[in-house]
Structure 1
């Protein structure tokens, strides 16, 4: 089941950059701190090994990719100002922004891009490995040009948002995948400041090479026990924003005049999987699940519309493939291809099996 729309009071990046206040007394004044509630803990500040969505969002503020996407999912330049691909679609040339500095003052160059892409490929970084597949060579003709060669045309090359890490700090690490990265250094719009019990503070990068919209000087991510406590903190004006709320909480926020509610399309999905891998170390699957007819019958017995409605209200859509319905590459199956809710058909299939 795909979640087409973000279950959130705001989109993290959009709201942080625009400095729009959300919550009772928690509005952001010029040059002040934006406090954002998390209902799940950041797993690590190491972009190689992080897999939590909350970590991904935080690290996007510290590290930059070559190309990023805006809140409308439109492609926009970042560390790469321009790019082109050869006629045979096998050679990509990226022209980098000049004068970019790492948060420690060191200059950013093409060597950092080459190092980062090769590191993320070698270490099989969970969030980005698939985007780096098929790149067979990376060269740096000069400090501000990167040339990548692929073994075949690569449709997702510009969808790669792998964070670029500083070569001068990472190349000597013995075990980069398990590196704690307690004080991350990036080129992003916000610098890491401090981490304490239940909070992480970022400070605006005054030397950022692009304009940073809004007047937020500091962002403090505060960990709450769950989405309920975060929602209450928002209503009480104790924080400026949060996300990841349930359908019931969204309904509550819609009636709160002091809260700005933002729903946005996201390229993601949630799903329930059937365990059919009997050789795995995890609890074995039920033998009947190996039968395709049984699996199809289970799907016919699953009321997806009801599940999505209960979980997401009006903020979710039933997914028919792993590609989000809002994605331009989505294929909508025909009625004949779908296994829509039909318990009677499921029973008949099992009787005939």
Structure 2
């Protein structure tokens, strides 16, 4: 099969669809790999490393799409790429269709086959291709939240870890999934007082067992959320509805309950966000302020640490890329139920319930 790896052109997205090590495994199996010039440089992988393992460097994104049977990316195609996608072409990337009707309609029109990393699902319900980026985003949520709590950036002027004689900052985390647990781990490591909320008691019991005593768990309800946002300095939204839109757990009127300079970080922004006031931002212009509350809603948070993120992503996507390349998407999905759940749009038809429900 001919695999194409275009350069990501979303704002400040420096990750690349595959490392040189991943490409080596493909060319070893006699597959052809075309990669756009400088596609890997942002992640620390110059063109030379790709040519050394058998990839062919091409100058333009148009060439990559034109030559390839399968496109391996990181982020969803943007408007410039829509007309480049060929009928029957296989696209393997993060799509997050439920957050964009425009993207969904464009992929339906393209007559391509769209397999979304974020809905590939194991038998136990885990999402193996979403997990590493959720781990990165959960940890970064605290790193960024701590920064934007600083007064020069309009935050409350709170040091999350506190100092002797001064209590630590308070972090409220909505969702005890991968994002929430990683965020709690980072916040606890800084010495912050952490409250993590979820409606899944099994997850809360797990968190209670593995986290230190200054991480407390509480059942998530609107009443409890309204209570805690009045006293917490940083609020992290880490809820996930597989393939669907995130629920709005913090509404516009709740912002007035927060103290001026409170920071909210919405990691669910790719799925429409779990705050009513969420709007996607970029690393170039990451924050905005509503009712004196600082919002950080960058839609590709792991893109800020592309070396780490690209390695982590290729670790989990490569086995599936090899299956798709070796046998074609139909045989690969028939043989692997986990991969089959990644099918979102096939030849103009939505085949994933969460997307159909999102747009009625």
TM-score, length-scaled by structure 2: 0.29
Q: Indicate the structure with greater helix content.
A: 2
* Structure whose alpha-carbon radius of gyration is higher: 1
Q: Which has the higher contact order (CA 8 A, sep 6+)?
A: 1
